[in-house]
């Protein structure tokens, strides 16, 4: 049995399902619905417990030390997913005696989309691992180019093929910034911003149907705060259109992540003010402005203005738009854009145009 939570991130559950099917050795997933059910679900039939430390939806944080002890008492292994922990909360894998950990570098480590995943394995388990994805970087002597695979000793055998070096160097930039501080200071700030955010939402948005989905207890909270709202998706789209870029997660969850390195207290304040406005004006009911692609706007503005927003364009022999820089200040259905246009034969000119947009990938002037 592989024990996990039904609310775990889909990739974790899908990978386990894929392996169970491929190995075809009678493994099965046992999923619990509440963190409190985990200890009872882990027993002598458990092959491993696969637990995400901080839940991606609610921000609930497990007690890693206590749960690892429970898992070990049952004679099995603890695999921790640290996707929402690394860079967000202090983690002491050696201290708690964890067996394996995985995570991504594109969230709180600031590596950006596509940056590599990581695996952590204590020395006691490293050489017992048989790498199914046995690429040349996991080989003991990769440059021998030997036709026979021989795993490296230690953590090196967890590598597969050539690593994404460019992405890794971007992660290094993110890590350099972490070296200027420490996780305890970051944790203090993250909790303080989260506390402020909860307090402000409850004070200023109390008239609206928002309910806190994240624990108020510091020991049970990662670096995010989630609220449920019956129209969570629409509300989040309206927030994003107003520059408050957070996430919606099914069902009904508005997820606000506080990256402690650079999310400021004033950002929490501004986000709550925008949320209050979106809820009070019910602007979430209107389709939000999508940031139209330059190409769409170029075509549509030109056809609206018969070739050129300045009224000459094609008639005066201009070769057309060479470049356009768009600066949006948007409400829900209109966008005022500063258009700086560089013609192929003339210098830059600017004009402000108010347009009404449609909510689709080919948003255009109506
Ligand atoms: C808990 C958790 N695990 C894993 C992942 C990453 O999965 P993937 O490798 O599919 O991006 C995420 C991404 O959001 C996550 O939240």
Over range 164-186, report the average pLDDT. 93
pLDDT at 346 over 50: no
255, 276, 290, 298: which one is catalytic?
255
Q: Quick check: bond before 35 cis, omega within 30?
A: no
Q: Helices 183-204 and 265-280 meet at what angle, rounded to 10?
A: 30
Q: How many angstroms from the chain centroid is the CA of residue 167?
A: 16
pLDDT at 286: 82
Q: Which position has the higher pLDDT, 309 or 192?
A: 192
Rounded distance between C-alpha atoms, residue 349 and residue 321, angstroms: 11
Q: What is the pLDDT of residues 226-240, one digit of tens each?
A: 999 999 999 999 999
How much is the pTM? 0.80
Rounded distance between C-alpha atoms, residue 342 and residue 21, angstroms: 58
Is 9 a residue of the active site? yes
Residue 119 beta carbon below 6 angstroms from any ligand 1 atom = no
Residue 214 beta carbon below 6 angstroms from any ligand 1 atom = no
pLDDT at 351: 56
Q: Which residues pair with 334 in a beta bridge?
A: 356
pLDDT at 113: 86
Most ligand 1 atoms within 8 A of CB, residue of 104, 113, 253 to mutate:
104
Token pair of 66 as six digits: 């206590």
Q: Which position has the higher pLDDT, 141 or 365?
A: 141
What confidence tier does 297 reach under pLDDT thresholds 50, 70, 90? Answer: low
Q: Which position has the higher pLDDT, 309 or 173?
A: 173
Rounded distance between C-alpha atoms, residue 224 and residue 119, angstroms: 23
Over range 133-142, report the average pLDDT. 97
| DSSP run (H or E) holding 50 | strand 48-52
Residue 5 beta carbon below 6 angstroms from any ligand 1 atom = no
pLDDT at 339: 56
Q: What is the dihedral of CA 293, 294, 300, 306, to 10 degrees?
A: 180
Rounded distance between C-alpha atoms, residue 291 and residue 335, angstroms: 9
Say how many Å lie between the CA of residue 326 and the centre of ligand 1.
33
Is 330 a residue of the active site? no
What confidence tier does 337 reach under pLDDT thresholds 50, 70, 90? Answer: low
| Residues whose CB is less than 8 angstroms from the CB of residue 310 and which lie 6 or more positions away in sequence, other chains included | 349, 351
pLDDT at 32 over 80: yes
Say how many Å lie between the CA of residue 127 and the centre of ligand 1.
26
What confidence tier does 174 reach under pLDDT thresholds 50, 70, 90? Answer: confident
Is 107 a residue of the active site? yes
Secondary-structure percent of the chain, ordered helix, strand, coil, rounded to 5: 35, 20, 45
Residue 52 beta carbon below 6 angstroms from any ligand 1 atom = yes
| DSSP letter for each residue of 237-277 | HHHHHTT---EEETTTEEEEE--TTT--HHHHHHHHHHHHH
Pairing mode, strands 224-228 and 253-257: antiparallel
Say how many Å lie between the CA of residue 14 and the centre of ligand 1.
11
Tell the residue nearest (CA) to atom 9 of ligand 1: 11
DSSP 90: -
Token pair of 341 as six digits: 């246009």
12, 56, 57, 81: which one is catalytic?
81
Token pair of 68 as six digits: 């690892």
pLDDT at 22 over 80: yes
Residue 12 beta carbon below 6 angstroms from any ligand 1 atom = yes
Using alpha carbons only, give the angle 71, 3, 126 rounded to the nearest 5 degrees: 60
| Residues whose CB is less than 8 angstroms from the CB of residue 309 and which lie 6 or more positions away in sequence, other chains included | 301, 339, 341, 351, 353
Rounded distance between C-alpha atoms, residue 255 and residue 246, angstroms: 6
The rounded percent of the chain whose pLDDT value lies above 90 is 75
Rounded distance between C-alpha atoms, residue 45 and residue 23, angstroms: 17
Pairing mode, strands 48-52 and 77-81: parallel
Residue 283 beta carbon below 6 angstroms from any ligand 1 atom = no
pLDDT at 364 over 60: no
Say how many Å lie between the CA of residue 85 and the centre of ligand 1.
12
Say how many Å lie between the CA of residue 83 and the centre of ligand 1.
6
What confidence tier does 275 reach under pLDDT thresholds 50, 70, 90? Answer: very high
Contact between 99 and 122 under an 8 Å Cβ cutoff? The reply is yes
Over range 245-271, report the average pLDDT. 95
What confidence tier does 43 reach under pLDDT thresholds 50, 70, 90? Answer: very high
Residue 56 beta carbon below 6 angstroms from any ligand 1 atom = yes
Residue 83 beta carbon below 6 angstroms from any ligand 1 atom = yes
pLDDT at 258: 95
Q: Can you tell me whether residue 162 is helix, strand or coil?
A: coil
Is 60 a residue of the active site? no
Nearest to 59 by CA among 270, 237, 272, 247: 247
What confidence tier does 308 reach under pLDDT thresholds 50, 70, 90? Answer: very low
Say how many Å lie between the CA of residue 356 and the centre of ligand 1.
37
Q: Which position has the higher pLDDT, 353 or 203?
A: 203
pLDDT at 274 over 50: yes
Q: Please state, rounded to an integer, the average pLDDT across all residues of the chain.
A: 85
Residue 85 beta carbon below 6 angstroms from any ligand 1 atom = no
What confidence tier does 310 reach under pLDDT thresholds 50, 70, 90? Answer: very low
Q: Which position has the higher pLDDT, 148 or 363?
A: 148
Q: What is the pLDDT of residues 176-221, one digit of tens each?
A: 999 999 999 999 999 999 999 999 999 999 999 999 999 999 999 9
């Amino acid at each position: 049995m592989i024990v996990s939570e039904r609310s775990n991130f889909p990739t974790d559950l899908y990978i386990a399902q894929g392996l169970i099917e491929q190995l075809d050795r009678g493994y099965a997933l046992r999923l619990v619905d509440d963190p409190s059910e985990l200890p009872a679900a882990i027993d002598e039939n458990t092959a491993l417990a696969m637990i995400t430390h901080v839940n991606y939806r609610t921000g609930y944080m497990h007690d890693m030390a206590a749960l690892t002890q429970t898992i070990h008492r049952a004679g099995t292994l603890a695999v921790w997913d640290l996707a929402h922990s690394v860079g967000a909360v202090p983690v002491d894998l050696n201290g708690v005696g964890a067996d394996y950990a995985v995570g991504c570098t594109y969230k709180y480590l600031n590596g950006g989309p596509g940056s590599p995943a990581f695996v952590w394995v204590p020395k006691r388990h490293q050489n017992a691992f048989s790498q199914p994805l046995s690429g040349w970087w996991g080989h003991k002597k990769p440059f021998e180019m030997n036709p026979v695979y021989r795993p490296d000793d230690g953590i090196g055998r967890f590598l597969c093929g050539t690593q994404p070096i460019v992405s890794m160097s971007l992660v290094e930039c993110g890590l350099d910034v972490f070296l200027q501080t420490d996780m305890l200071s970051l944790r203090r700030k993250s909790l303080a911003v989260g506390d402020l955010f909860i307090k402000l939402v409850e004070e200023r948005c109390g008239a609206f149907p928002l309910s806190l989905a994240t624990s108020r207890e510091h020991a049970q909270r990662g670096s995010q705060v989630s609220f449920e709202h019956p129209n969570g998706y629409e509300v989040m789209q309206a927030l994003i259109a107003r520059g408050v870029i957070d996430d919606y997660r099914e069902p009904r969850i508005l997820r606000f992540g506080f990256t402690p390195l650079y999310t400021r207290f004033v950002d929490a304040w501004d986000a709550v003010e925008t949320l209050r406005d979106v809820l009070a004006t019910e602007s979430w009911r209107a389709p939000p402005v999508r940031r139209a692609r330059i190409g769409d706007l170029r075509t549509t503005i030109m056809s609206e203005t018969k070739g050129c927003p300045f009224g000459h364009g094609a008639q005066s022999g201009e070769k057309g738009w060479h470049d356009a820089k768009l600066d949006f200040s948007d409400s829900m259905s209109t966008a005022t854009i500063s258009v700086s246009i560089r013609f192929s034969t003339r210098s830059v000119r600017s004009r402000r145009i108010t347009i009404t947009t449609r909510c689709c990938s080919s948003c255009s002037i109506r």
